[in-house]
Amino acid sequence: MTLDVRDVPEGTQVANGIAGEVDVRLLDLTDHDTIRSFIRDWDTPLDILINNAGVMATPETYTDLGWELQFATNHLGHFALALGLHDALAAAGNARIVSVSSSALFASPVIFDDLHFRYRNYDKWEAYGQSKTANVLFAVEATKRWADDGITANSLMPGAIATNLQRHTGGEQTPPEKRKTVEQGASTSVLLATSPLLEGI
């Protein structure tokens, strides 16, 4: 298992709490140099790619390339990573991609004419929703284009999870008693990534 993280020391601390051998590698989805470096260094078949990095409801922020931060992180970075790892996924023979979306996708479709809020007023929830809609559309299109390569992709909504994400963003207004634990939230991704019931679906 490989954890791709922006903060290697923090990622290593998390890895130490996971059973089995866990490799920790630097990857910042808003920094395409780290994406290219990660792809270049990957040299084995890849059975499962879980796209679950994300930011939520951030203030209006743009990357060095001028991309709106949430769309850049939640979709464009994952897209570049999956595209770059296509050959490794195909080499596995029966690979799965799991993209973590959200019910917030109902807040906005992908506004192809203005992905980065250059011509409309910025709204943090519309920006988040657009990025989560893009996660779903990516899963649909990746499966359509890559099925013959033995790659299937799915997207999921894990539910409201009790993490520090809400604390940092003022996040979703789900009462604490209705939030899932991190383990419960992760179980949906694990199901999509590993269950024989979803073979080829």
* Cα-Cα-Cα-Cα dihedral sign, residues 17, 56, 79, 62: negative
Residue spans of alpha helices (H) in the chain: 8-15, 32-41, 69-71, 78-84, 86-92, 124-146, 165-169, 182-194
Q: Among 150, 142, 155, 152, which residue's Cα sits nearest to residue 188? A: 155
Distance in angstroms (rounded) separating the CA atoms of residues 69 and 76: 10
Residues that are catalytic? 128
